[in-house]
Chain A
């Protein structure tokens, strides 16, 4: 079984796959650079510290949620309820801040995370043990949680004067007084790093890849499929809860009808652009982070160029489509290369 021919195909297949993975991340960076260049040419004021900061402010919110969404997609699932979890957690904590202005913001953040964890856990339980397909479950909770957001808040939004100053400072000041890199960015970076180590160095993290790669094999190898699946959705919920607080910090308000609406789409877009396979089994933190950066840049570029926000939705849809199509073509070529089919 180790003829010369097969050794050569083995080696070329390995490097080809590796090459393509690196290629993907380089490709995103290249795209990023192109957009920056293009935007600067069209509008020289693009390259300003203000805009850079806009990007830097926009990205952390997305990154935090995208980390969770990435893990869900690696397990071959999907979570479209993250926007609603973000809103519900955000509004509950926002209401607490409104009614108890002295409430500790760290406690508030922790509470938001726990609320998100609970909501995500419901998703996880329904998917892992009641065995409802992820798309249906999260479609249902997207609705149910959004409805709850309205009910709980009675339709009233959380205004800027309800949000604690110290919380808003997270988006204005950074560590060591470097205001270019506000605390929210640091938080997002920490989340990304933690996710990276979780996926790379913990058994549970490796199990996430295994489940997505071959669920039957995972079960037979004694991997706790149900628990790991549950965990992934619960973590995603917790991250969405955190994002709720970051939202309040960044925008200064939480509105039950607007906050987080359509956010899942953005998160999925970032994950898919970042090279995560929609069929599960593979995905990298770096790729997704770059994807978030790319989307953030596109977002700011669009507004700087005066292109209305109305373009956003179409751009996301197009970008998801592009990423998925490109992936499919790459997969097909890879398969052709190794099996000739």
Chain B
């Protein structure tokens, strides 16, 4: 019952049982019990339960909570976390970690600002360049990890500082558009305020997030590439010996994470109409929390996209709820930190039951 058959929601398929091993699972009652047990022990259960609880708690705290429009609107405040966590899922499942996602976001945002304002490049092209840049910054991480065999923790710790530092050097403590500029030097209309546009009733950023979640979820669970990612997280050497292009896959997922950070960066700039070096400062914690809360094992090899998505909504509800209850941002910090630790403890406990 401990199968890691990750591409199937039902965990087993029957193979012809040899005569010595006929088991007595033919009774419907015990099979149902087994199914229920395996369902309950799925790692996604924890964030789901917490989400429901948090939602109930939130609605008790404030009438706004049950206002769907309010909630949908608010998702945009944190949606960048969600988008970045989609990429982080791949990296953590493969056994690595990326601490530089938020810094990449900031650097891409700042360079985009400079490219548009200082260099005069049209916004459409700037947008495309920004996305490419994000991928490139992620690729650098991947290169350092695969070619020099450096631990991803050390590398991305360094790029966490380096990338945000570069952003700081480029725009200083200022922003783009600069504070000193006149009010009419701004990003183009069509670019700004993406969070106020809705598509089939939901804000565009949320739409993008959900779309990406589905696409990347399919990539992770239903393709060869995804299976490779799981295999690498479980046993990198055996994967290599079996012909899995380990280094290529690792570079690819870091590039993906970088691209998603770049995308998140552009969404944030659009939302806030400004690019600053301290965008998303400290958000790598939220991203990792979201992924770990979602049942992805920090040591690699297990986890699902669905869990990460549920966990994002959990964090969203928590933060919105706390905001509505007038809990200060810094105090929210305390809650998120404790949440991260608790989520690992719970996942450890559940693992022991699963055995």
Using a CB–CB cutoff of 8 Å, the interface residues on chain A facing chain B are 78, 126, 130-133, 135-137, 139-151, 155, 256-257, 262, 265, 268, 272, 278-279, 308, 310-318, 320-321, 324-325, 328-329, 332
Q: B344: which A residues are within 8 A, CB to CB?
A: 132-133, 136-137
Given contacts A139-B285, A143-B282, A144-B334, 9 further A-B contacts (CB under 8 A): A140-B337, A143-B337, A147-B335, A151-B331, A278-B151, A310-B165, A317-B159, A318-B165, A324-B154
Q: Is B67 an interface residue (CB 8 A)?
A: no
- Contact of A140 with B158 at beta-carbon distance under 8 Å, contacts A279-B151, A316-B165 already known: no
Q: B129 to nearest A CB, angstroms?
A: 21
**What CA separation (Å) do A265 and B340 show in the bound complex?**
21
CA distance A315 to B155 in the complex (A): 14
Flag if A320 contacts B157 (CB, 8 Å): yes
B158 touches A317 (CB 8 A): yes
Q: Who on chain B is nearest to A327 by CB?
A: B150
Contacts A135-B97, A155-B328, A317-B159 given; does A147 touch B337 at CB 8 Å: yes
Q: Determine if B341 and A137 form an interchain contact, defined as CB atoms under 8 angstroms apart.
A: yes
Would you give the shortest CB distance from B330 to chain A, in whole angstroms?
3
Residue ranges of B at the interface with A (Cβ–Cβ < 8 Å): 97, 144, 148-151, 153-155, 157-166, 168-169, 172-173, 277, 282, 285, 288-289, 292, 298-299, 328, 330-341, 344-345, 348
CB A334 to nearest CB in B, in angstroms, measures 13
Q: Which of B150, B164, B348 contacts A313 (CB 8 A)?
A: B164
Task: Find the residue from A132, A142, A150, A316 having the highest chain B CB count within 10 A.
Answer: A132
Which residues of A sit under 8 angstroms from B162, Cβ to Cβ?
313-314, 317-318, 321
List 26 interface pairs A-B (beta carbons < 8 Å), by A numbering: A130-B348, A132-B345, A135-B153, A139-B285, A140-B338, A143-B285, A143-B333, A143-B337, A144-B333, A144-B341, A147-B330, A147-B336, A151-B330, A278-B153, A279-B151, A312-B165, A313-B161, A313-B164, A314-B166, A316-B161, A317-B160, A317-B163, A320-B161, A321-B144, A321-B158, A324-B150
B155 to A317, Cβ gap below 8 A? Answer: no
Contacts of B292 in A (CB 8 A): 136
Q: Which residue on chain B has the smallest CB distance to residue A332?
A: B149
Closest residue to A143 on the B side, CB-wise?
A: B337
Interface centre among A310, A320, A332 (most CB of B within 10 A): A310
CB-based contact B161/A133 at 8 Å? no
Q: Which residue of A lies closest to B170 (CB)?
A: A310
What chain A residues lie within 8 Å of B331 (beta carbons)? Answer: 147, 150-151
Write the nearest CB–CB distance from A143 to chain B, whole angstroms.
Answer: 3
Q: How far is the CA of A221 from the CA of B338 in the complex (A)?
A: 35
Q: Could you tell me if B330 and A313 are in contact, using CB atoms closer than 8 angstroms?
A: no
Report the nearest B residue to A73, measured CB to CB.
Answer: B154
Q: Is the CB of A136 within 8 A of B298?
A: yes
Q: Give chain B nearest CB distance to A10 CB in angstroms.
A: 26
A321 to B298, CA, bound (A): 23
Residues on A with C-beta less than 8 A from B151 are: 278-279
Partner of B161, one of A130, A146, A265: A265
Docked complex Cα distance between A313 and B169 (Å): 9
Q: Which residues of A contact B334 (CB under 8 A)?
A: 143-144, 146-148, 150-151
Instruction: Establish whether residues A140 and B165, one from each chain, have CB atoms under 8 Å apart when the complex forms.
Output: no
Asked whether B341 lies within 8 Å of A126 as measured between CB atoms, the reply is yes
Q: Is the CB–CB distance between A150 and B348 below 8 Å? A: no
Choose from A143, A314, A325, A328 the contact partner of B340 (Cβ within 8 Å): A143
- Give the distance in Å from the alpha carbon of A325 to the alpha carbon of B141 in the complex: 12
B280 to chain A minimum Cβ distance, whole angstroms, is 14
- Find out whether the CB atom of A150 lies under 8 angstroms from the CB atom of B155: no
Q: How far is the CB of B150 from chain A (nearest CB, A)?
A: 5
Residues of B within 8 A of A130 (CB): 345, 348
Q: Closest B-chain residue to A311, C-beta based? A: B169
Question: Taking the nearest CB of chain A, how far is it from the CB of B261, in angstroms?
Answer: 16
Q: Tell whether, in the assembled complex, residue A147 and residue B333 are in contact, meaning their CB atoms are under 8 Å apart.
A: yes
Most buried by B among A147, A265, A320: A147
- What residues of chain A lie closer than 8 Å to B333, measured between beta carbons? 143-144, 146-147, 150
* Shortest Cβ-Cβ A-B pairs, 5 listed: A314-B165, A147-B334, A317-B162, A317-B161, A143-B337
Chain A residue nearest in CB terms to B330: A150
- Check B337–A142 contact: CB distance below 8 A: yes
